[in-house]
Amino acid sequence: MRCIGLGLMVALAAGAVRAEEAVWQFLWQGGGGYTVRGGLSYDASLVTGAVVRGDDLTCFFIEGLKDGGPVGRWGLAMLNEKTWWRLNFAPVPGAFLVEGMGVDMPQAWNMDGFGTSCGAGGFGFNIGNAAQDICIDGTLIVESQIDPFRSFPAERAPGLRFPPYACVGPDLMSALE
């Protein structure tokens, strides 16, 4: 009986150790009435440097709006081998890296530097040396462009709910060859 009690205590203690999930939300104000809102999460206990990168994330999504109406969305579960994907986020001070912070094209969220790679029906966001801007349906939205050096803050959001397309799941295994 004593062995079972000790085993149960060890199991409970092990279960109490959880990932330190850091959850953030953000709102980007672009030109021409365009905005991008979204969120991200990552296991803070696994991030060793000062910058969180795209491959550190467990969830990420963006939703584009024009004058408050939806124009597109994209999330980490939609990532594939053709996707332009780069993310650099500094938890301290709670902001995305922008132009001039030592990283070429610090953000590429389903969008290349030309603004044409978000695909038919797609949506993307980019910060490069020319601007911060969005892509809709494979087209750069010049009207959305703002200064590439403008700060892009985020805020902690522990209660944020992620849409189904935001989170990566475990790798699926198959018996098919």
- The helix (run of H) or strand (run of E) holding residue 170 is none
Domain chopping of the chain, boundaries: 19-156
Residue type, 109: W
Residue among 79, 46, 82, 70 nearest 167 (CA): 79
Judge contact between 148 and 46, C-beta under 8 A: no
- Tokens 């935001």, located at residue: 166
Residue among 54, 55, 64, 23 nearest 162 (CA): 23
Model confidence at 40, in pLDDT bands (50, 70, 90)? very high
pLDDT digits (tens, 9 = 90+) for 142-167: 999 999 999 999 999 999 999 999 99
Q: What size, in residues, is the chain?
A: 177
pLDDT digits (tens, 9 = 90+) for 90-137: 999 999 999 988 888 899 999 998 999 998 999 999 999 999 999 999
**Strand-pair partners of 106:** none
Least confidently predicted of 1-10, 22-31, 35-44, 151-160: 1-10
Phi-psi region of 9 (alpha: psi -120 to 50; beta: other; left: phi over 0): alpha
